[in-house]
Amino acid sequence: MLSTLDDLKHRLQTALVSAFGPELEGTDPVLVPTNNPKFGDYQANVAMSLAKQLKDKPRAIATKIVENLTIDDICEAPQIAGPGFINLKFKTDYLQTQLKAVYADDRLGVPTAAPALRTIVDFSSPNIAKEMHVGHLRSTIIGECIARTLEFLGHDVLRLNHVGDWGTQFGMLITHLRDVCPEATTEASSVDIGDLVEFYKQAKKRFDEDDAFKTQSREAVVDLQSGKEDARRAWQVLCEQSRKEFQKIYDRLDITIQERGESFYNPLLDNVVTDLTSLGLLEEDQGAQVVFLEGFTNKDGNPQPLIVRKSDGGFNYATTDLAAIRQRTIDEKAARIIYITDAGQANHFAQVFQVANRANWIPEAVELVHVPFGLVKGEDGKKLKTRSGETVKLKSLLDEAVIRAEKDLKQRITDENRDESADFIQNVSTAVGIGAVKYADLSQNRTSDYIFSFDKMLALQGNTAPYMLYAYVRVQGISRKGGIDFSQLGDAAILLGDEAELNLAKHLLELDTVVVEVARDLFPNRLCQYLFELSQKFNQFYDRCSVLQADEPQRTSRLMLCDLTARTLKLGLSLLGIPVLGRM
């Protein structure tokens, strides 16, 4: 089925070509929703943007487009307004037929992508022996949503956890642990991740202050790199311990991801250096092997170097990402690689991409995208901290969200005089608490910093998970109350009479456009906004139009609108990683 908006766009494009010739093939008709329903549903602004090129008045151009437009099966007669807007209003008949088709479709009118692309989503990616922090939480939540959306469209997605599991820090950590807590280097369960983080800090301090320790640490790195048994074992134990901790968070958030840490690329690092050398891109700079970057200058105005091999012979974060690009394009055959990290790494990725490009390591059709996001801040606008000033642990953050959701729920249960089981309370609080944290993150434009507020994210009103979940529950309540089996309504007609029904219907028909947009632009907040408006439009419809009390055939038609709204919410929320509830 051609989506409603694609259909409009296509018709306008055909009209442009028949009016002005094949040069205009593929021209964007600049279709936007009208800001006032009295002008119709959509307006095409292309006449204005073509005026210069066609050397004519926009109104004349608009007239010519309309004369060539075959659209009467889907729209009322187009109106030209103002300087040359073409106003379009859907025919109710057309909307009814479209909606019926969406209703009958398990994918709710969202087509699968052609071609399906092999896509890597590199997300979450915390560091071993360090705490997973809120930045990683953001990457995890956004990455999961992007992966789900792409998978739903039929892309072949490989979700990769590029954990920081390699580097000189392991030398000092292992050396320190051997002194203070040797069992931590042999037995995975013997040390808590929180302690590891503490040990890491102590190790760093000793490294900076104590020369003998420094030498020992360096030796440990060499041992590790050369694969010496006990160093290797100690490193594995640390990774194992961190991995278990990370997994607890992933389980709570329902995250699916495959670990492929930096160490995976170790065997490929030498080749990065060799090949960059033979390409003539590598130069020596103060003992290090570097590529001088184009468009990045240091404070003296000289080209900035990207260090590929340090003066001590070690490789770094950028070298690993260069090796990963090659491995992912060649071995994994990725057509699109998406990296989800905080905006602070924008330069890192721009530089790595540039070097890979200049080395011709990025095949023509491959797209590398960095998906940056802003910082998570406390309600005071500063870095998120606990009351006593420590960094917030993810576990406690999720715990608190659930505890607060539970408190709200219990209050509601008491107010409404309901009797609910402990199981019910636990399920609902968990779903609402975790869902609220995810939704709060996803509903922000990811590029801005976002203020973490339990009160806001758990509010029943506004652009929040509870509001969305509640709209879904409302529909389930209708089916319970009326003894309706939604799956049995399928053959009836959908009849759109009331303004609120029409508004809801038109919005329901935009799901496909939104999902495709999210997959293309990688902004999950677009989907959140869509679902928020859907809930609002549904609530307006439900406040204005009786459903169970209505007469047939209106009653069944309205039940179908309710059902389709619920199915759309369920699908949309599932792409955000949020499961719906039957009751709450």
Q: Is the CB of 322 or the CB of 500 nearer to ligand ARG? A: 322
Q: In terms of CB distance, is 58 or 143 closer to ligand ARG? A: 143
How far from 303 is each of 297, 347, 424, CA to CA, in Å? 4, 14, 61
Q: Of 127 and 513, which CB lies nearer to ligand ARG in the complex structure?
A: 127
Answer yes or no whether residue 162 interacts with ligand ARG by CB under 6 A.
yes
Distance of CA 316 to the CA centre of its chain: 28
Q: Which helix or strand (DSSP H or E) is residue 369 part of?
A: strand 367-373
Taking CB under 6 A as the criterion, the residue among 4, 45, 98, 127 binding ligand ARG is: 127
Query: How open is the CA angle 128-132-135, to the nearest 5 degrees?
Result: 125
DSSP strand E in 401-459: where? 450-451
Task: Please state the φ and ψ torsions of residue 548, each to the nearest 5 degrees.
Answer: -65, -30
The binder of ligand ARG chosen from 207, 235, 339, 532 (CB under 6 A)? 339
Residue 153 has, within 13 A of its CA and on its CB side, a CA count of 24
Q: Which stretch binds ligand ARG (CB under 6 A): 61-69, 84-92, 120-128, 449-457?
A: 120-128
Q: Which is nearer to ligand ARG, 119 or 568 (CB)?
A: 119
In the complex, minimum distance from the CB of residue 264 to ligand ARG, in angstroms, rounded to a whole number: 11
Cα torsion through 494, 499, 505, 510, rounded to 10: 160
Q: Which amino acid is at 222?
A: V
Which region among 55-63, 123-131, 408-416, 464-472 touches ligand ARG (by CB under 6 A)? 123-131
Kindly tell me which of 126 and 466 has the beta carbon lying closer to ligand ARG.
126
**Distance of closest approach, residue 76 Cβ to ligand ARG, in angstroms:** 51
- Contact between 122 and ligand ARG (CB under 6 A)? yes
Regarding 125 and contact with ligand ARG (CB under 6 A), the answer is: yes
**Cβ 127 to ligand ARG shortest distance, Å:** 5
* Burial classification of residue 114, based on how many CB atoms lie within 10 Å of its CB (0-12 exposed, 13-18 middle, 19 or more buried): exposed
Nearer to ligand ARG by C-beta: 339 or 373? 339
Distance CA 581, CA 489 (A): 22
Query: Looking at beta carbons, which residue is closest to ligand ARG?
Result: 125
Got the DSSP string for 481-533? HHT--GGG-TTSPP---SHHHHHHHHHHTTHHHHHHHHHHH--HHHHHHHHHH
Residue closer to ligand ARG (CB basis): 29 or 126: 126
Cβ proximity to ligand ARG: between 310 and 348 the closer is: 348
First-to-last C-alpha distance (Å) of the chain? 36
User: Considering beta carbons, is residue 69 or 323 the nearer one to ligand ARG?
Assistant: 323
> Is residue 450 within 8 Å of residue 400, measured between CB atoms?
no
With tokens 């990963």, the residue in question is 324
Site for ligand ARG in 394-433 (CB under 6 A): none
Determine the size of the site formed for ligand ARG (CB under 6 A).
Answer: 9
Binding marks (x or -) toward ligand ARG, 300..329, rule CB under 6 A?
A: ---------------------x--------
Which one, 272 or 496, has the nearer CB to ligand ARG? 272
Q: How far is the CB of 326 from ligand ARG (least distance, A)?
A: 13
Q: Which stretch binds ligand ARG (CB under 6 A): 124-132, 200-208, 227-235, 417-425?
A: 124-132
Minimum distance, C-beta of residue 135 to ligand ARG, in the bound complex (Å):
7
Q: Is 418 helix (H, G, I), strand (E, B) or coil?
A: coil
Q: Is 80 helix (H, G, I), strand (E, B) or coil?
A: strand
Contact partners, residue 387, CB within 8 Å, separation at least 6? none
Of these, 164, 167, 433, 524, which contacts ligand ARG (CB under 6 A)? Answer: 164
For residues 172 and 234, give the distance between their C-alpha atoms in angstroms, rounded to a whole number.
Answer: 12
- CA 273 remoteness from chain centre: 34
Provide, rounded to whole angstroms, the least separation between the CB of residue 266 and ligand ARG.
Answer: 15
* CA gap 119, 150 in Å, rounded: 8
By CB under 6 A, name the binding residues for ligand ARG.
122, 125-127, 162, 164, 321, 339, 341
